[in-house]
Amino acid sequence: MLHYGSPENRLEALLNGEVAAAMLMEPYISLAEKNGCRSVCEGHYLGAENASDNMDEETFAAINRAVVKAVDLINSDKKRFIHYLLDDPKFAPVLKKWGPLTPDDFILSRLRYTHPTPYTDEQIEDTYNWMVRWGLLNASVCAADYVDNRDAEAVAADD
């Protein structure tokens, strides 16, 4: 496994034949597929809102209310919001070289947006064990010391 840096660099290496496979996210996946590549495996990001220890509950709740509203709005018409991926200024040089790409080129079911929820005990344990295996965390550290598993959805619903 090699680290090729940014999504743009990984796509470039893939399309130039330097690598046989690359980890990409949208809109790079759709662009790679449009250029003849195929997806062999998919994983989906599980986003959990991160907050510092000193973030007050009111701010945390406001952030999560906004995320819940955004998720519902995007899921009501995913194609309507794809332009935000395509209009990103960092993506313009990639499109110029390897494009074009339109909203019709995306597999909408791949775009998964969900309400914030706390991590499950299994997710925390799996992540903890992975970090210990890779030497990113000392095994004597307790995962609970680093995870404040507030129920973001419940906090957002309170208001």
Which tens digits make up the pLDDT trace of 64-118?
A: 899 999 999 999 999 999 999 999 999 999 999 999 999 999 999 999 998 888 7
43 compared with 110, residue with greater pLDDT: 110
pLDDT, position 53: 76
Predicted TM-score of the model (pTM):
0.76
Distances (CA, A) of 101 to 21, 79, 85, 118: 21, 13, 10, 35
